[in-house]
Amino acid sequence: MSSLRFQALQALAAGEEKKISGYGEKKITAIFGSNVFSGRTMREYLSDEAYKSLMNSAKSGMRVDRKMADQVAAGMKAWAEGRGVTHFTHWFQPLTGVTAEKHDSFFTIKSDGSAIELFDGDALIQQEPDASSFPNGGIRATFEARGYTAWDPSSPAFIMEAGSGKTLCIPTIFIAYNGESLDYKAPLLKSIAALDKAAVDVCHFFDKNVSKVTATLGWEQEYFVIDEGLANARPDLMMCGRTLIGHSPAKGQQLEDHYFGSIPERVYAFMQDYEQEAYKLGIPLRTRHNEVAPAQFECAPIFEEVNIAVDHNTLLMDVMNKVAKRHKLKALLHEKPFAGVNGSGKHNNWSLATDTGVNLLAPGKTPRTNLMFLTFFVNTIKAVHDYADLLRGAIASANNDHRLGANEAPPAIISVYIGKYLTEVLDEVESRVKEKFSEQDEVILKLDIHKQIPELLMDNTDRNRTSPFAFTGNKFEFRAVGSSANCGSPMVVLNTIMADTLKQFKKDVDVLIEKGEKKEIAILQVLRDYISKSKKIRFEGDNYSDEWAEEAKSRGLNNFKTTPEALDAYVTDKAKQLFYNNHIFSKRELEARHDIMLEDYVKKVQIEARILGYMATNHILPAAINYQNTLIENVRGLKEVGLTNASYKAQLNLLEKISEHIQGINDNVEAMIEARKKANNTEDIHKRALLYCHEVKTYFEVIRKHADKLELVVDDKLWPIPKYRELLFMR
Ligand code: ADP
Ligand code: MG
C-alpha cells in the first residue's frame, strides 16, 4: 500500500476536491445577520416591555429579571423554531482555548407524560454544564464539579448551522459556584465596565454629555490553508497544528510573489463559503487577501464593540475549521505551522468610542477635542509603559513563542510606535519645562497639533510594521497577539491597565485643579509628566534589529522570550493589586489562571514532544533504513560485477551519513524521553513548565535537524510524509 502521502498527492492530482463558490444572486446585505437574534428580530418577536428590558441590560450590563427572561426566552424559541432549530446550547469560551457547547433539546416530557417543546427564562439565564473537565486551576475541586454558565445579554444569541442541524446558541460567561471566573468572557465584561467608568470620568473634563465609553476591537486574522489529505498524512499537523519536521522548500517567500497576488481558486471558494457563514452570523467581514508566506491568508472585519468582536473572532475560527472540511482543505490557525516561513498573528486594533459618537483616539478638528485626543493617547502610552510586562504575558503561549522574536513578527519586547509627527507633538509638550503652562502656550500647543493633522494621516500610510504596539492614525494596533489566541486575554489586560491609568490621571488632574489651577493647564501639566515618565517605552526604529534588543536592555525594558517567564507578570504584587482594585480578578483567581496557562503550556510541549519522538522513530527512521538497504544492495551488486571501491564511494559516503543521522535521531529521542520523565515527576507546575521549556523543548531543534538532513538524501519515493513544497504550493 502506498503511503498516505502518495494517496493524498494522487487525490490532489485527480482534482477530487469540490469547488463550492459564489454568493449566487444574493447581496451580502440579504444574508447578513440572518442567523442572529438581532435588534430588529427582537422587535418582531418580543413585547415592547421585554424588548426594552433586554436592550437596557445589553447596554448597562444589568441582569434581566426572571419575568422578562421568560418572555425573551419565548421570543427566542419562536424565532429559532421558525428556522428549524430543535436544540439550544449555552455557548462559552473556557480556558481550553476552544469554544464549548452542550446541546439540550427544547423537547421535554411533562409530569403527565406528554411531550412538549420548552425553553424558559431559567434555561436562558443559567445552566450547569458538567464543568469538571474544563481547566480551573484548582478553583473548583473536581468533587464539587459545579460550574455555571450565565447568559450575557450584551452579545446576541445566534443559530449555528452544522450540516442540516441547527442549534440556538446563547453567549454565556462560565463561572464557578462562588462566582470566580473560569473563562475569557467574564473578566472581559468586568474590564469593559471598569474602562467605561474611568473613561467617562475623564471625558467629563471635556464633555459632560458623554455617558458611556466602549472599547472597540477590529482584529485581523492570519491563517494558512493547505490540502486536507496532505495535512492528514502528517501526525504533527493533525495533532499539533504545526510541522515539527520538514525541510524548507527551495522556493519559500523569498520572491515575495504571494503577497497581494491573486487568490488561488480553491482557496477562493473556501473563503466565499466561510464568509457566507460568517455573514449569516452577523460577523462583518470586510477584507481578504494573501499574506506574505505561501499558502498564507488574512481576513478582517469592520471593528465592533470589544465583547462582540471577541465573540465573533472565536466564532469565525470555529466556522473556518468547519467550512474548510467541506472543501477538503485545512485551515491552520497555529502561530507557526512551518519553520522558515512567516508565522501568523492576529492584529488587535483597539480604540475607545463615546456614546456621543467620538473616537477618543482620533485627532480632532478643534483645539478642545485635540486636548481630549492627546489625553487618551498619552494615557494609553503611559498604561503600556507601566504594564508592558503584563501585556507581554497576555500574549504568551507555547505557539506564540515561535513567532515573537523570530525576526518576522513583533519581538517579545513591548514598545510603542507613534510616528514622527506625534513624537514631535509629545516632545513639544514635554519641552515646556516652565513651572506652569501659560494661557499662551495652551493656545499655541493646541493649534500646533491641529495643523499637523493632515501630515499625521500621511505619516500613517508609511507606518512602522515591526512595532508590537503601533498607533495607526485613529487606533492602536496590538500586533503581537497570536493567530490562534482568544483576543479576550490581551483585551482584558489592555482595558484594565487603561482604566487604572485613567483613574490615576483623573486624580492627578483634580489635585491640581483643587490647588487653583485652570482645568486645561492642569491637564497639560499632568500629560507632560506622563509623557516624560513613559518615554522609554516609545520606539520608532526597526524592532527586528539586534541593536534594538541591546538598546531596550539599556532602557530597562524586559525581553521575556519564553512563556513560563512571560506569565510571571500575572502573579506579581503589582498585577494582583491592579486586577483586584479594578474588580477583574481576585488574587486567587489570578493564581488559578496563572496555573492554567502554565498547564496549557506544559501540555502543548508535551504533546509535541511525544509526536516528534513518534514521527522520528516510526516514520523517519524506517524510511532512512529502507533507503540504506537499497544502497547496500546497490553496493553489493557493483562489487559483484567486479567494480572497485572507487566506483561506489558516493554510496558508501551516503550510507555513513545516513547512519550518523539515524544515530542522532535515536540518541536525542531517548534523551528527550528522559528529560520528559524528569519534568513529569516535578510536582510544582511552574518548575515543570520551566523544565519543559529549557530541557525538553531543546531537543526539538536537534532531532529536526537530523530528520531534515535525511529528507534531503533519502529517495523521495520512500519519504512517508508530505514535504513543505507539497504542503505550501499544491492546492
Ligand atoms: P490595515 O491595518 O490593514 O491598513 P485598517 O487600518 O483599515 O487596515 O483597519 C484594520 C482593522 O482596524 C480593521 O479590522 C478595522 O475595522 C479596524 N479599525 C479601524 N478603526 C478602528 C477603531 N476605531 N477601533 C478599532 N478597530 C478599528
Ligand atoms: Mg493592520
- What pLDDT, on a 0 to 100 scale, did the predictor assign at position 447? 45
Nearest Cα residue to 299 out of 309, 312, 290: 290
* 301 CA closest ligand 1 atom index: 14
Contacts of 418 (CB under 8 A, 6+ apart): 377, 381, 426, 470, 471, 538, 540
- 461 pLDDT band, cuts 50/70/90, is very low
- 198 pLDDT band, cuts 50/70/90, is very high
The torsion angles phi and psi of 218, rounded to 5 degrees, stand at -125, 110
- What pLDDT, on a 0 to 100 scale, did the predictor assign at position 453? 52
| 8 Å CB contact between 615 and 245 | yes
State the cell numbers at 311.
465573540
Give the number of other Cβ atoms within 10 Å of residue 472's Cβ.
Answer: 20
Residue 103 pairs in a beta bridge with: 89
Give Cα separations from 123 to 14, 126, 175, 316, 635 (angstroms): 50, 6, 16, 26, 75
* 472 CA closest ligand 1 atom index: 6
CB of 359 closer than 6 angstroms to any ligand 1 atom: yes
Counting ligand 1 atoms within 8 A of each CB, the residue from 213, 373, 475 with the most, and so the one to mutate, is 475
Is the predicted pLDDT of residue 485 greater than 80, yes or no?
A: yes
321 sits in the region (left: phi over 0; alpha: psi -120 to 50; else beta) called alpha
| 8 Å CB contact between 252 and 246 | no
- What pLDDT, on a 0 to 100 scale, did the predictor assign at position 142? 44
CB of 460 closer than 6 angstroms to any ligand 1 atom: no
- What pLDDT, on a 0 to 100 scale, did the predictor assign at position 726? 92
Q: Which amino acid is at 56?
A: N
Question: Cα angle vertex 363, ends 361, 368, to 5°?
Answer: 105
The owner of cell 558516493 is 650
Ligand 1 centre to CA of 303 (Å) is: 6
* 353 CA closest ligand 1 atom index: 23
For the chain, what percent of residues have pLDDT higher than 70? 89
Nearest Cα residue to 662 out of 604, 620, 603, 711: 620
Ligand 2 centre to CA of 273 (Å) is: 24
| 8 Å CB contact between 359 and 214 | no
The per-residue pLDDT for range 648-685, each reduced to its tens digit, is 999 999 999 999 999 999 999 999 999 999 999 999 99
Give the number of other Cβ atoms within 10 Å of residue 163's Cβ.
Answer: 7
Which of 411-425, 433-447, 485-499, 570-584 is predicted least confidently? 433-447
- What pLDDT, on a 0 to 100 scale, did the predictor assign at position 162? 84
- Using N-to-C axis directions, what is the helix angle for 649-680 and 587-615, rounded to 10°? 150
| 8 Å CB contact between 411 and 521 | no
The owner of cell 517567500 is 253
* 217 CA closest ligand 1 atom index: 25
| 8 Å CB contact between 429 and 521 | no
C-alpha span between 433 and 376 (Å, rounded)? 22
C-alpha span between 254 and 728 (Å, rounded)? 14
Give Cα separations from 676 to 65, 484, 613, 632, 696 (angstroms): 53, 26, 11, 36, 6
Give the number of other Cβ atoms within 10 Å of residue 503's Cβ.
Answer: 18
Torsion, Cα of 57, 58, 63, 69 (10° steps):
90
- What pLDDT, on a 0 to 100 scale, did the predictor assign at position 6? 87
The per-residue pLDDT for range 125-169, each reduced to its tens digit, is 888 876 666 777 766 554 455 788 999 999 999 999 988 889 999
- Work out the average pLDDT over 180-200: 96
C-alpha span between 37 and 34 (Å, rounded)? 8
- 72 pLDDT band, cuts 50/70/90, is very high
The per-residue pLDDT for range 330-364, each reduced to its tens digit, is 999 999 999 988 899 999 999 999 999 999 999 87
Nearest Cα residue to 339 out of 610, 612, 701, 666: 701
Ligand 1 centre to CA of 245 (Å) is: 36
CB of 88 closer than 6 angstroms to any ligand 1 atom: no
- What pLDDT, on a 0 to 100 scale, did the predictor assign at position 283? 98
- What pLDDT, on a 0 to 100 scale, did the predictor assign at position 172? 94
State the cell numbers at 640.
559483484
- Average pLDDT of the chain is 89
Q: Hey, is 698 helix, strand or coil?
A: helix
CB of 218 closer than 6 angstroms to any ligand 1 atom: yes
- What pLDDT, on a 0 to 100 scale, did the predictor assign at position 428? 83
CB of 237 closer than 6 angstroms to any ligand 1 atom: no
Give the number of other Cβ atoms within 10 Å of residue 31's Cβ.
Answer: 18
Nearest Cα residue to 622 out of 715, 696, 724: 715
- 476 pLDDT band, cuts 50/70/90, is very high
What's the pTM value of the predicted model, to 2 decimals? 0.94
Is the predicted pLDDT of residue 397 greater than 80, yes or no?
A: yes
CB of 300 closer than 6 angstroms to any ligand 1 atom: yes
Torsion, Cα of 223, 224, 227, 230 (10° steps):
-120
Higher-pLDDT residue of 145, 382: 382
Q: Which ligand is nearest to the CA of 218?
A: 1
Ligand 1 centre to CA of 348 (Å) is: 9
State the cell numbers at 390.
503584563
- What pLDDT, on a 0 to 100 scale, did the predictor assign at position 411? 83
CB of 240 closer than 6 angstroms to any ligand 1 atom: no
Nearest Cα residue to 198 out of 475, 471, 507, 492: 507
Ligand 2 centre to CA of 267 (Å) is: 22
Nearest Cα residue to 96 out of 604, 561, 496, 591: 604
* 361 CA closest ligand 1 atom index: 23
The per-residue pLDDT for range 278-316, each reduced to its tens digit, is 999 999 999 988 887 889 999 999 999 999 999 999 999
Please give the full DSSP string across 245-271, using - where no structure is assigned.
Answer: S-PPPSSSSTT--STTSPPPHHHHHHH
- What pLDDT, on a 0 to 100 scale, did the predictor assign at position 143? 44
| 8 Å CB contact between 35 and 283 | no
The torsion angles phi and psi of 340, rounded to 5 degrees, stand at 80, -10
* CA 110, 116, 120, 124 torsion-angle sign: positive
- What pLDDT, on a 0 to 100 scale, did the predictor assign at position 482? 96
Contacts of 458 (CB under 8 A, 6+ apart): none
CB of 217 closer than 6 angstroms to any ligand 1 atom: yes
C-alpha span between 578 and 571 (Å, rounded)? 11
Task: Mark 704-729 as b/e (b = at least 16 C-beta within 10 Å).
Answer: bbbbbbbbeebeeeebbbbbbbbbbe
- What pLDDT, on a 0 to 100 scale, did the predictor assign at position 255? 55
Report the DSSP pairing between strands 469-471 and 416-417.
parallel
The domains of the chain, with CATH numbers, are 32-183 (3.10.20.70), 192-242+255-555 (3.30.590.10), 600-729 (1.20.120.1560)
Q: Which ligand is nearest to the CA of 465?
A: 2
Is the predicted pLDDT of residue 249 greater than 80, yes or no?
A: no
C-alpha span between 452 and 421 (Å, rounded)? 7
CB of 417 closer than 6 angstroms to any ligand 1 atom: no
